[in-house]
Amino acid sequence: MNVIVVGSGAREHALCRILHKSYLCEKVFCFPGNYGISQIAECKDISTKEDIVEECIKINPDLVVVGPENYLSENLAGELRNKGLNVFGPDSEGAKLESSKEFMKEFCQSHNIPTAKSQTFVDFDEAKNYLESFNGPIVVKYDGLAAGKGVFVCTNTNEAIEACERIFIKKEFNQENNKVVIEEFIEGKELSFFTITDGNEYLNIGSAQDYKRVGNNDTGPNTGGMGTISPAPILDNNLDMIIQDQIVKKTIEGLKHDNIAFQGVIFFGIIVNEHHQPYLLEYNTRFGDPEIQSISLRIKSDFLSLLHSTATKNLKYANIELFKNKKSICLILATKGYPGDYPKNTEIRNLSELKNNDEFYIFHAATKLINNKVFSNGGRVLSIVVCGDNFLECRNKVYEVADIIDWPEKYYRSDIGANIKFSYF
């Protein structure tokens, strides 16, 4: 089969690798891709929806996999499907689970899915009045897509009002029609849970714990993710059952009930409180980055046949098998300064000396090749992933590799996979 992957980050590199590995795979294309991806896929530097649709029609692949959320909310998957292609990724209607926080809340409410209590506002003064009636921590969410920057976990009312000012007055996300969802703060531990569905059937594909803050011990500003460990250590059998029962099953049934077609992956962002009760914080309608980097090395079964079955509504004939008892860790190497200002185009010298294999892989998020030299091309640049028998083994190896990489501008957290707690208590 020929496959096209849309996107350019380490998530797409991980997807290209695991699709390319399939015995069914003839060729992988990636639009636009990056230098790392170009080692295993034919990349083409196109990124507008129109260009991608045109190129997909020309190539006429057996499957298109849409990586990033912005394309999904622009209905790229829907348009390609209308042209007769098999696509993994929901139409814009299904993608609304991620692209509108208000829609997500209404969906949870109408299908009895546990989530934080919330209220939506379209006006700064009304939001401010509401916030002034509260004390203590509260969460403000920009309604639309914001590349991970639209959620403000505020410790007090003043911080929450400031967040609303940034959204409504300074218009940091959108010039008009701004909306916020203000929700109760739930204290607990987070995990990412992934389910693939063709709209009828569903299969769970694994879990991970994301390290979102830039600094060790979860300090400093939020980032796109500084590392993941998989599976999520707090996910014991009991919690897994509760999540499946109260969140996953109800979501799939809710989509069917509301006639929302969905062929793709649902990424449940979940928080578990001290009573072991999970609450849904957010839906994402694509694979998590950096979650899929770590999960992908644990997948044993054929990934191309899984995604193709999903896109053709044949998921009931597919299966997912993970390597038994294997763990994995993904460590992000970012450019020093990220998520603030950071230098661009810094040289990374010895990447070619590190040979990838089935249990160790370096995924590229932002690299380019100039005169045969590799340069950084963004904030989060590389994902080092190791799969092994236990987290300690994985941790030792990812940090050994991180130290070997000859890149003076590199920055990484040193506590990914350290002090793991295997249950909430």
Residues at the contact surface with ligand GLY, assessed by CB under 6 A = 148, 210, 225, 284, 288-289, 291
Closest to ligand GLY by CB, 198 or 210: 210
- Token code pair at residue 112: 């009895």
Closest to ligand GLY by CB, 121 or 152: 152
Shortest reach from residue 145's CB to ligand GLY, in Å? 10
Shortest reach from residue 290's CB to ligand GLY, in Å? 6
Closest-by-Cβ residue to ligand GLY is 288
Q: Give the separation between CA 413 and CA 226, rounded to whole angstroms.
A: 7
Residues pairing with 98 in the sheet: none
Shortest reach from residue 235's CB to ligand GLY, in Å? 16
Cβ-based neighbour number of residue 106 at 10 Å: 13
Handedness of CA 342, 344, 347, 353 (dihedral sign): positive
Closest to ligand GLY by CB, 148 or 340: 148
Shortest reach from residue 250's CB to ligand GLY, in Å? 22
**DSSP helix, strand, coil percent of the chain (3-state; round to 5):** 30, 30, 40
Residue the block writes with tokens 């992933």? 385
Q: Give the separation between CA 369 and CA 365, rounded to whole angstroms.
A: 13
Shortest reach from residue 143's CB to ligand GLY, in Å? 16
Closest to ligand GLY by CB, 25 or 104: 104
Closest to ligand GLY by CB, 284 or 377: 284
Closest to ligand GLY by CB, 183 or 210: 210
Shortest reach from residue 208's CB to ligand GLY, in Å? 8
Shortest reach from residue 411's CB to ligand GLY, in Å? 18
Q: Give the separation between CA 415 and CA 413, rounded to whole angstroms.
A: 6
Shortest reach from residue 225's CB to ligand GLY, in Å? 4
Closest to ligand GLY by CB, 34 or 284: 284
Closest to ligand GLY by CB, 225 or 379: 225
- Half-sphere exposure at residue 269, Cβ-oriented, CA atoms within 13 angstroms: 19
Strands 27-32 and 2-7: parallel
Contact criterion met (CB below 8 Å) for 301 and 323: no
Cβ-based neighbour number of residue 66 at 10 Å: 26
Between 124-132 and 157-164, two packed helices, what is the crossing angle to 10 degrees? 170
Q: Give the separation between CA 223 and CA 220, rounded to whole angstroms.
A: 9
